[in-house]
Structure 1
Amino acid sequence: MNTQNKYNVIMKFGGSCLSQPEDFSQIKQILTSYFKKESKPTTIIVVVSALKGVTDLLIELTHLASTGCDHQVIARIKKIEEIHEQFIDNLFEESLKVTNSAKGELQGILHDLSTVLEEVAEFGIVPYFIDYIMSFGEKLCATLVNLFLSQENFSSKVFFGEDLIITNSEYNKAVPDLEHTRARIIQKIVPLLDNNWNHQILVITGFIGRNEIGYTTTLGRGGSDFTATIIARMLHDAQKFENGRIILWKDVPGVLSGNPEYIQAPHLISRLNYTEAKEIAVLGAKILHPKCISIIENQQIPIELRAFRQPESSEFTLISSSKVSLPIKGIEIDANAYLIILESPFLFHEMAFMQELFSFCNHNKLQLSLLQQSYSQNRLLISTIDIDMKEKLKKFQKNGHIPEEWLQIYAQPAGIITIITDQKHQAEIIAKIGKILQHSGISAHGILQDYQGITVSVVVPRINVTEIANAINLSYSLGNHQNQNLNNQDQKSNNSTIPQQNEKKEEII
C-alpha cells in the first residue's frame, strides 16, 4: 500500500465550463498544472455536470414523450446526439479508433434513453422517469471527459453517481443517506486511492444518485456542487481527505458583494466563513446552494470558488472556518416584494390571530419573507414575494375569526435589503441605515435583525430599494469605513441625490 499518497482535492466542472470542445483542453491544463505542483502520487476527483443546454433538452424530451409527439421526440434526441458528436469529432479527430469508441458509447447511452422515453409515452410522467431521464446528460458528459483524459495520457476512470451516492426517494430533490453512501465510497473509491502509485483522475457524474431499491434520483438545484461536497465529506469520514479542499470551477471568480443588477460595482468577497456563506446562499446567491456548505461545515473542509477561464488568478472566494471581521460581507436585494399591512382594533394575540394566520399561509403555500408586529399588537407587517397574496388574503379576511369589517388589509410594492454582517458590527449597521434613511427622506417600513447577529434587513418602498442599497454599500466602500460618517454629509434633503419618494399604502381589499 502506498501510504505517501495525497488525496486532497475534488474539482467540479459545471455546464458553464462545458459549453464547447475547447473547454476540455482548459480542463486538461488545469489538471496538468495541479499535478505539476505535486511531487507525490496524487488523485484528483473530477465531478462533472451535463454539457451546457443538454439538461434542458432532456426535460423537454420527457414532456414531449408524455404527449405522444413522436416526431419532436426524435428531433430532440437527434439534437442531443449532434451536440455530443460535435465534441467527439473535435476532441478525437486524430484517432479514428477513439472516435468510433466514443460514438459507440454515445449510441449505447442514447439507446437506453430512447427505451425509457417509450415507457413515458406508454405510462405517462412519473417522478422516477424524470430523474432517470435527466441523469443521461451527466452520464454522456462524464463518458466523454473520461475518454478525453485517457487519450491525453492521464490515468482516468469513470463512475456514475448511482454507484456511489445512496439517497432517499425524494425525486428531483433527493437527500443523501450518509451511512450507505459512506460505505459505497469506502468500497469503491478508497481502494483506488490507497493502491495508487501514479497521478490519477476519477471522473464522477454530478447531480445523480439512487435510492435503496436502485431507482435513479437527482439532488436538485446545485446538485453537482452537492455531489462534490458529499464525496469530500465521505472521504473525510474515512480519514482519506486530510487537509483536503474542494474547488468549484465557475464562470465567475466567486461570490460578489451584491447583485450587479442593483449594486453599482460590487466587489469580489475573498473570504467567507461557513455561516456567512450559507446566509448569502439562502438569500438568493445562485452560485452555491446552502446544502453544499452544511454537509462539510463541521468537518471544516474549505471550498474555493474559482473562475474557469482564469484558473491561475489570485482572485477567488474561499469559504472556510476562518473569520474576517468586516462591517458588510454582502448585500442581498429582493426588489419584487410586497408589503402587506393588517390592521384591527382587536388585539391579534387575544383572537389567536397569529396561529390562524400561519395556518392559513401554510395551507395556501404563501411565502413570507419577514414578519413584524407593532408594540400595540394591532398592526402587523408582512413582507412577501407572493404575487397571489391579494386574492388569497380575501379568503383570509372573509373567513377569519376577526369579523371582516374589523380587519383592514393593505398592500404596496416593497423591496427588502439584507446586509450580511457580524455581531460586532450589527448595531453599527442599524445606526448607519437610520442615518441614510434620514438623510434621504425615506421612511422604512421595518428594520429587523436576526438572533445570530449575522443579518440586518430593512424593508423600504420598492421605488427606493436600489438607491438605499447603493447608499449603504457606498458608505462602506470608499476608503476606511470608520471615516465614512454620515454626520459629515450634507443633511439638506433638497440637495440629496436620492429620490425623495414615499409610496402611499394602497388598499387592496
Structure 2
Amino acid sequence: MLETQNVSEMSEIGSRSPLIVMKFGGSCLLDSHAFRKISEISLLYSTSQKFYIASAFNGVTEKLVQLTLYAKSKDQSAVQEILNELKESHVSIIFELFNDFPVYEQEAIECLNSLIAELNKTLEKILEFGMEPYFSDYVISFGERISTFILHLYLQKEGLISHFFSGEELIITNDNYSNALPDLKCTIPRFQKRILPLISQSDQNSIICITGFIGRNKNGYTTTLGRGGSDFTATIVARSLFELLKTPLTIILWKDVQGILSADPNQVENPHLIKQMSYSEAKEMAFFGAKVLHPKCLSLIEDQKIEIQIRNFTRPFIKQEFSTISNVANDQVITGVSAIKEMAMVTVSSGLLVDVPGVLGRIFTLMGQNNINVSMVTQSSSEVNTTFIVESKDGDKSLHLFEEDSWFSHWFTFEKSLVGMIAVIGTDINLSKNKILIFQALEKVGVHALAVAQSSDGINLSLVVPSEKTQIVANAINEEFRRISIN
C-alpha cells in the first residue's frame, strides 16, 4: 500500500518535470513485492513521460563474470553449472511475477531461452578460439537484457504502456571494452529516430524501458560501461533527451541506501544524510569512497543542470529523506569526510636534478604506461622530492618500476609506505578558518599529516596520515565540524 500522506507531494515532484529518467538497481528487482513497488512509483509519476533503466538481478553480473573466467580456462562443466543456475534463478522470478498470466509468462520464458541460446553460442566460441574483449562484454550484458525485458513485461501486465529497447539500439560507444564511454554525436541521432516518435505519439503516461550498462561500438560489437554502468546509462539517456528537447529533466536513482551520507558509517560515527549538494561536491565524494555514484555519471549532465535524486527504494514515499545533486551547493561548513585506509605513498627524491625539466612528466608517463592511477601528488618547492599516492596494490609495483628504470635508478632514491588518505569536502574548505579547524582536529588526536593537497577550486582538502590513524583522524575532523555546526 502507498503511504498516502506523501502521495500528493510525490506527484507534485513528478509534475514539475515532464521527463523522468529512473534507474532501478538489482536490489529493486528482487521479487514480486519489489516489482509491485515499481508499479506504484509509476502511478505517482503519471503526468510524466518516464524512462526506466534497469540493472541485472542481484548477483547475476557476478555469476556472468565467473562464467567468462571458466570459459576462458575451458572448464566446460563449471560453465554448464553456472548456465543452469542462471536459467533456474530467472525462471523462478518469471514464475513468481507472472503467475496466472500465461501470455506474459510464456513471452518471458521465450526471451530467456533465446538469450541462453545466444549465450551458449558465444561461450562455445570462447571455448574454441579463446577469450576476446567483445566476447566478455557480450556475456556480461546478459543480466540487463533479461531483467529489463522482464520489467517491461511486468509493467504491461499491470496495464501500463511500456516499450523495450536494448542499450545497443541507442547508445554508441568507443572501443574501450568493459569500461566504454558514449559517443554522443552518434547516440543522440538514434534517440531522435527511435525515441522521439514514441514521445510524440504515445500516451504521456507511457514508459520506455532501456537496458542499463550496455552499448555498442561502431562495428556493432556489444560494449559495457564499467562500474556504475546502469547509473551512467541513466545520465546518457537524460543528456541525449535534453539535447533534443531542451526541456527540464530529473534523474532518480533508486538504490538500497538512503542517499549519500556525509561519511562512511563503517569509518565515522554519526554520519548524516546529505540532502543537497553540488555536482562538484558529489564528484569529490564519489571519487574518495562514496560508492553510491560514480563521478563519470555527473560529467555528462553538469553543464545542462540536470538534477539527480538518489532515493531509497525501501522507503520511496518518505518526505525529504533523499539526496539531491544539482548546481546548488550544500549549506553546511563541510559536505563530507571521506577516508581510504589502505593506500601507498611513494616518494621519489633527488638533490642533483633540481630545476631539471620533465621529471614529473617522466613519473606520470611511467605510471600511465603501467596502468597505475595516481590519486594525489605533492612536491617540495625546491623539487627535491615528489610524493604521490596510489592504491596499496600498486605500491610495490611502482617502486619496482622506478628501480628497474635506468634513468630513475641512477639519479633518484625511492621510498614507499602504507598510508591512509582523508578528503574533507565542501565549498568553503579553502577558507583559513576551516583549515585551522581541520588541523586542530589532528592536533587533538596527536596525529601529524604526512602530506597535504588542496584542489584549485577549494572544494577538497586531502590529507595523508599513517594508515592505522585514518579512522581516528576522520572521526576527529567530523566531530570538530559537527561541534561548530551545533554551536
Scaled by the length of structure 1, the TM-score of the pair is: 0.87
What are the within-5 Å matches in structure 2 for residues 83-482 of structure 1? 83-239=89-245, 242-313=247-318, 314-350=320-356, 353-390=359-396, 392-394=398-400, 396-397=402-403, 399-401=405-407, 407-423=412-428, 426-478=431-483, 480=485
Task: Label 1:63 to 1:237 Cα distance change in 2 as closer, same or farther (>3 A).
Answer: same
Closer/same/farther in 2, CA of residues 195 and 390 from structure 1, 3 Å limit: closer
Q: Which amino acid aligns with 1:54?
A: V
The C-alpha deviation readout for 1:36-93, integer Å capped at 9, x for no partner, is xx3xxx3211111111111122222222223332222222111111111111111111
SS in 2 for 1:297: coil
CA distance in 1, matches of 2:468, 2:248: 48
Deviation digits for residues 7-47 of structure 1, max 9, x if unmatched? 42111101121233321112112112222xx3xxx321111
Q: How many residues are matched?
A: 472
The question of whether the paired residues in 1 share the 8 Å contact of 2:250 and 2:307 is answered with yes
Q: CA RMSD in A?
A: 2.3
Change (3 A) 1:336 1:479: same
Question: For 1:12, what is the secondary structure of its paired residue?
Answer: strand
Q: What residue in structure 1 maps to residue 7 of structure 2?
A: none
1:494 aligned partner: none
- Secondary structure (helix, strand or coil) at the match of 1:261 reads coil
Amino acid at match of 2:125: E
Deviations 1:210-246 (A, max 9, x none): 122222111111111111111111111111x622201
How has the CA–CA distance of structure 1 residues 329 and 32 changed in structure 2, closer, same or farther, with 3 Å as cutoff?
same
Aligned residue identity for 1:64: Y
Per-residue deviation, residues 416-457 of structure 1 (Å, max 9, x unmatched): 111112247542222112222333332221222111111111
Stretch moving more, 344-353 or 427-436: 344-353
Contact 1:429 1:456 in 2 (8 A): no
Partner SS for 1:469: helix
2:402/2:408 contact within 8 Å kept: no
**Measured at CA, do residues 402 and 203 of structure 1 come closer, stay the same or move farther in structure 2, by a change above 3 Å?**
closer
Distance in 1, matches of 2:394 and 2:334, equals 34
CA contact (8 A) 2:429 2:459 kept: no
2:355–2:383 Cα contact (<8 Å) kept: yes
What is the rounded CA distance, in whole Å, between the counterparts of 1:398 and 1:172 in structure 2?
31
SS of the residue 1:238 aligns to: helix
**Any idea what the Cα deviations from partners look like across 1:256-281, whole Å, max 9, x if unmatched?**
11111211121111111111111222
Does structure 2 retain, via aligned residues, the 8 Å contact 1:7–1:193?
A: no
Distance 1:60 1:234 in 2: 34
In the TM superposition, what is the alpha-carbon distance from 1:285 to its structure 2 partner? Answer: 1.9
Contact 2:402 2:409 in 1 (8 A): no
C-alpha deviation, 1:302, in angstroms: 0.3
Contact 1:252 1:306 in 2 (8 A): yes
Q: Give the Cα–Cα distance (whole angstroms) in 1 for the partners of residues 332 and 441 of structure 2.
A: 19
- Distance in 1, Cα, partners of 2:393 & 2:147: 39
Residues 112, 409 of structure 1: alpha-carbon distance in 2 compared, 3 angstrom cutoff: closer
Question: For each residue in 1:316-359, what CA deviation from the matched residue of structure 2 results, as whole angstroms up to 9, or x when unmatched?
Answer: 00011123343211111121123334444435434854444334
* Residue 62 (structure 1) aligned with residue 65 (structure 2): no
Paired with 1:281 and 1:195, the residues of 2 have a C-alpha distance of: 39
- Whether the 8 Å CA contact 1:256–1:266 is kept in 2: the answer is yes
Work out the CA distance in 2 between the residues paired with 1:67 and 1:390.
28
Contact 1:351 1:402 in 2 (8 A): no
Structure-2 residue corresponding to 1:30: 41
Question: Which amino acid in structure 2 is aligned with residue 335 of structure 1?
Answer: K
Deviations along 1:145-176, one digit per CA (max 9) or x if unpaired, are 11111111111111111111111222111221
Instruction: Answer whether contact 1:62 1:130 (CA < 8 A) is retained.
Output: yes
Q: Report deviation, 1:361.
A: 2.9
Contact 1:423 1:454 in 2 (8 A): yes
Query: Matches of 1:22 and 1:315 in 2, distance apart?
Result: 22
Name the residue aligned to 1:13: 24
- CA distance 1:190–1:76, shift in 2 (3 Å): same
**Cross-structure match for 2:8:** none
Q: Are 2:58 and 1:47 aligned?
A: no
CA distance in 2 between counterparts of 1:353 and 1:423 reads 33
In 1, distance between residues paired with 2:219 and 2:371?
32
Paired with 1:63 and 1:172, the residues of 2 have a C-alpha distance of: 14
Long gaps (5+) in structure 2: 1-14
Q: Is the 8 A contact 2:445 2:476 kept in 1?
A: no
Shift, 1:409, TM fit: 3.3
Q: 2:464 is matched by which residue type in structure 1?
A: V
Partners in 1 of 2:468 and 2:309 — Cα distance? 36
CA pair 87-477 structure 1, distance change in 2 beyond 3 A? same
Letter in 2 for 1:250: K
Question: Percent same amino acid at aligned positions?
Answer: 36
- Provide the secondary structure at the position in 2 that maps to 1:442: coil
SS at 1:349 equivalent? coil
- The gaps in structure 1 that reach 5 residues or longer are 484-509
Q: 1:6 deviation in Å?
A: 7.2
In 2, the alpha carbon distance for the partners of 1:384 and 1:108 equals 44
Which of 71, 79, 90 is the matching residue for 1:73? 79
Amino acid at match of 2:477: I
